Structure 1
Amino acid sequence: MTALTRLESRPAHEHAIPTAGSLKQCYEQLLLGDDAGQRRALGKTFLTAQLQRAADLPEEMPEDLSALQTFVEQHSTEVARQYADYLSARKEGGPRQFFSNKAHALFFLQAVSPIKLVDGAWLYGLLQHWRDPRFEGLVCTYLEELGEGNPAQNHVVIYRKLLAELGLQDTGVIADEHFLQGAIQLALGECADDFLPEVIGYNLGYEQLPLHLLISAYELSELGIDPYYFTLHVTIDNASTGHAQKAVQSVLQLLPIEGDREDFLRRVALGYRLNDLGQGSRAIIESFDLNAEVLNMLERKRPFGQHMHSDYCRFEGKTVNQWLSSPEQLPGFLAALEHKCWIKRHQDPQESRFWQLIDGDGAAMFGVFSPYEKQLLHDWIAGDWTAERSTPAVRRVSSGAVELALPASDPDIQTLQAALEGLSAAEQMPVLIPWLSAHRHAHPAGLMATRRFIELKSSLR
């Protein structure tokens, strides 16, 4: 099994995650915690546990360093071949291979958001080495993840915009296991001094171009969802001049000359395997069950709606409030709506009275369901009805362009400017670095700090 296949297809149940608290809590503490010492302590404990688990996984990285570049190039070639096969199958009339409908795509975009919203975080701790030319490739990679301070290129800004456009901002519906990789990235960023070989190895594994990026971009576009975030990574992660190439060079440049090279490479390989923990993108996609997601969504809504309906309308002898009194009754409630023809499965949703109640400005339940929740209901009702004839419940995102003004009145910008005032160029660098963290860099002051950091980095050489 190739590294590509392994990374994308590991099942949801593989590598159960033992942890005292939830992964989401760990993720949020590493991202939002005010105490740097506590973040580093948590990160070290968390990484130690994850590395122990990674040690049990198969080794894929070549032991011979001279074969590393070839390994990366062969991976890229294999991805290109598989994608060519995919395109050929689609041109011959084959169906989408990832997303059965738009709700399926939104499910995926939401599930992977904990990772996308800390994109590049594993490299944050290396910014302190900005003067050392051996770290140039890694620092450059991180700054490019940050869009070099340009919001139109900042990966987190782009993904936040995508989520906002699609109404996917409810983190409470994301399974806890989907926070694992994001927590690993944040922990590596906090503990770079103690885990440098592991950071280098993780970067090598993460920056290889995966097939799912190419297919996702193609199918998202088909479904009326802007694929810009994914197409941006397709170009930036290339094995010729992109992040994948920089990752290989970083292994070679930071390998000790007379130190324990064997132990260093062992740890690099272990960091590489951290990428394999948790549920991969393809497994997330394959885990989608539209009927189950509709029921899960209704269960989340049920506590808020079980006392909100009048008693005049009954289905199979029960009021809506009675149907919503317990989760066990939800499947029967949907069946009753079908039996009474309030829901007409496998037809245009516009023909269903239930859909008419939730869609449109004059709908009785206008605003009750989020865009994602409406899409789930829309696609569940539509079923086998020809997808090409359906009216999307979620509007198309216009473009990848991001406009974000940097007002001088922004309190964070004012705080940053005050902290920099009177400092020499060299003295400004350690003040700027915290503003380039995963929690800050996508905000106006972080974007300004990123641009200033790059400017000073170039002038101080």
Structure 2
Amino acid sequence: MTALTRLESRPAHEHPIPAAGSLKQAYEHLLLGVDSEQRRALARSFLEVQLEHATHLPQEMPTDLSALQSFVEHHSVDVARQYADYLQQRKEGGPRQFFTNKAHALFFLQAVAPTKLVDGAWLYGLLRQWRDPRFEGLICTYLEELGDGNPAQNHVVIYRKLLAEHGLQDPGVIADEHYLQGAIQLALGESADEFLPEVIGYNLGYEQLPLHLLISAYELSELGIDPYYFTLHVTIDNASTGHAQKAVQSVLQLLPVEGDREDFLRRVALGYRLNDLGQGSRAIIESFDLDAELLNMLERKRPFGQHMHSDYCRFEGKTVNQWLSAPEQLPGFLAAMEKKGWIKRGQDPQASRFWQLIEGDGAAMFGVFSPYEKQLLHDWIAGNWTPERSATAVRRGTSVATEPPVPDNDPDIQSLQTSLEGLAAHEQMPVLIPWLSAHRHSHPAGLMATRRFIELKSSLR
């Protein structure tokens, strides 16, 4: 019975299907839910709905297996050619194509965080197949997403550090639709046994090197943002020896010998199309509106600041508290500060009295705005003004490049070590696997479990 047939035959009330507008709740339940049966039920229902949506998307994956390798290689060559064209345009003085300013780039990093923070999750459910050599490529791909247990290479650790460095740790500002792809990845990871062809197809689509990854890395670096997370994927997702190549081989190795090959490939192709659901990276980048994002940020701040200011300072006859009393007054408040000279658009923000209140030694509003919020204000004030040197005008946070040592009394590590005591090597594997889940693998005990899993997997062959 296919996934879509199951969807049509199962009573609608049997398993909860997330209602419209609750993608974040589905994501959080799939990531954090403690009841494994509920997670699997939600994952199944969620996937069936998304697969139905995917049937309406155009088919790009070739149906002829003999063409699959060349399809992946041609895609890689095409991306390389487009990137070469991009570099030539930049060399000739062309502007950035993605990010108009640093705030724009930070907006993007925050919007894609729900997906990046579960990187590789679609493959988690395959770990139980560690004895089967046909799954080697897929499991290897997952373990490399986990950095093989090295925090400096663990993709989630790297991205979490990137967010922390730039003050992008407020999930409340992320649009609900941006949780879709992360939820799909988590659901696939929970349902690998039932949806194996879809997992294989999704992996094939996700591991193709996209042009936006290359351009993002280039422009993030220009803006003083560490691009390592993105450049790391450029190297490991290659079509020669990387994840893209392993993805092709996995399709061929797991194709049934005498079973229904046609249905298997149809489902692989459907899983491939899951990648195209929701708002992609380019669409997120193009959706950025600095004025709108600034006003949204100020509105989030407004309820906390509308009673915190004295009546001493007035703009256009109104106190700051009066200006902050209603959201529709925010544009007028900004205009009033600009008229009074407190904000000087199109100039170095340091020349604006308002900026001096929030940034710098002795700033009266020090700590009121996060690094991202300050960047929004900085870039809105600056407009087309650029500093003479490439250094950013906003103070960058303390580097978090090094991993702090794990304390000897870490409770999770102690718990894991206790649970492994007295177990034979093959008995340790099912104990370790839950620690390699999307929620756990980037924590100290999860990193330790990953290293132990790899060690045992190699020795038990």
TM-score (norm 2): 0.94
Question: How far apart, in 1, do the equivalents of 2:392 and 2:83 lie?
Answer: 29
Taking the TM superposition and a 5 Å limit, the aligned residue runs for 1:422-437 are 422-437=422-437
Query: How far is the alpha carbon of 1:113 from its aligned partner?
Result: 0.5
In the alignment, which residue of structure 2 is the partner of 1:111? 111
In the alignment, which residue of structure 2 is the partner of 1:13? none
User: Contact 2:165/2:399 (CA < 8 Å) preserved in 1?
Assistant: no
In the alignment, which residue of structure 2 is the partner of 1:85? 85
Query: How far is the alpha carbon of 1:41 from its aligned partner?
Result: 0.4
In the alignment, which residue of structure 1 is the partner of 2:174? 174
In the alignment, which residue of structure 1 is the partner of 2:148? 148
Give the aligned residue type for 1:236.
Answer: I
Deviates more, 1:381-390 or 1:240-249: 381-390
In the alignment, which residue of structure 2 is the partner of 1:165? 165
In the alignment, which residue of structure 1 is the partner of 2:249? 249
Q: Identity of counterpart residues, as a percentage?
A: 85
How big is each residue's C-alpha offset from its partner over 1:185-238, in whole Å with a ceiling of 9 and x where there is no partner?
000000111100000000000000001111111111111111000000000000
Question: How far apart, in 2, do the equivalents of 1:394 and 1:196 lie?
Answer: 47
Deviates more, 1:402-411 or 1:157-166: 402-411
User: Contact 2:145/2:155 (CA < 8 Å) preserved in 1?
Assistant: yes
User: Contact 1:158/1:402 (CA < 8 Å) preserved in 2?
Assistant: no
Question: How far apart, in 1, do the equivalents of 2:384 and 2:55 lie?
Answer: 45
In the alignment, which residue of structure 2 is the partner of 1:412? 412
User: Contact 1:192/1:199 (CA < 8 Å) preserved in 2?
Assistant: yes
Query: How far is the alpha carbon of 1:22 from its aligned partner?
Result: 1.0
In the alignment, which residue of structure 2 is the partner of 1:392? 393
Return closer, same or farther for 1:220/1:246 CA change in 2, 3 Å cut-off: same
Return closer, same or farther for 1:30/1:18 CA change in 2, 3 Å cut-off: closer
- Indicate yes or no: 2:299 matched with 1:299: yes
User: Contact 1:207/1:244 (CA < 8 Å) preserved in 2?
Assistant: yes
Task: Report which structure shows greater RCO (CA 8 Å, sep ≥6).
Answer: 1
Return closer, same or farther for 1:391/1:149 CA change in 2, 3 Å cut-off: closer
Taking the TM superposition and a 5 Å limit, the aligned residue runs for 1:435-450 are 435-450=435-450
User: Contact 1:375/1:393 (CA < 8 Å) preserved in 2?
Assistant: yes
Give the aligned residue type for 2:199.
Answer: V
In the alignment, which residue of structure 1 is the partner of 2:460? 460
Does the residue aligned with 1:247 lie in a helix, a strand or coil? helix
User: Contact 1:405/1:444 (CA < 8 Å) preserved in 2?
Assistant: no
Query: How far is the alpha carbon of 1:128 from its aligned partner?
Result: 0.2
Question: How far apart, in 1, do the equivalents of 2:297 and 2:260 lie?
Answer: 53
In the alignment, which residue of structure 2 is the partner of 1:4? none
TM-score (norm 1): 0.94
Query: How far is the alpha carbon of 1:398 from its aligned partner?
Result: 5.7
User: Contact 2:348/2:387 (CA < 8 Å) preserved in 1?
Assistant: no
Give the aligned residue type for 1:300.
Answer: R
- Indicate yes or no: 2:383 matched with 1:380: no
Query: How far is the alpha carbon of 1:393 from its aligned partner?
Result: 1.2
In the alignment, which residue of structure 1 is the partner of 2:23? 23
Question: How far apart, in 2, do the equivalents of 1:181 and 1:170 lie?
Answer: 19
User: Contact 2:313/2:320 (CA < 8 Å) preserved in 1?
Assistant: yes
In the alignment, which residue of structure 2 is the partner of 1:276? 276
Query: How far is the alpha carbon of 1:397 from its aligned partner?
Result: 7.9
Question: How far apart, in 1, do the equivalents of 2:313 and 2:396 lie?
Answer: 32
User: Contact 1:76/1:239 (CA < 8 Å) preserved in 2?
Assistant: yes
Question: How far apart, in 1, do the equivalents of 2:178 and 2:254 lie?
Answer: 31
In the alignment, which residue of structure 1 is the partner of 2:260? 260
In the alignment, which residue of structure 2 is the partner of 1:55? 55
Give the aligned residue type for 1:348.
Answer: D
In the alignment, which residue of structure 2 is the partner of 1:217? 217
User: Contact 2:21/2:176 (CA < 8 Å) preserved in 1?
Assistant: no
Query: How far is the alpha carbon of 1:394 from its aligned partner?
Result: 4.6
User: Contact 1:124/1:189 (CA < 8 Å) preserved in 2?
Assistant: yes
Question: How far apart, in 2, do the equivalents of 1:23 and 1:404 lie?
Answer: 34
User: Contact 1:375/1:394 (CA < 8 Å) preserved in 2?
Assistant: no
Does the residue aligned with 1:301 lie in a helix, a strand or coil? helix
Question: How far apart, in 1, do the equivalents of 2:162 and 2:351 lie?
Answer: 30
User: Contact 1:57/1:273 (CA < 8 Å) preserved in 2?
Assistant: yes
Question: How far apart, in 2, do the equivalents of 1:114 and 1:34 lie?
Answer: 19
In the alignment, which residue of structure 2 is the partner of 1:207? 207
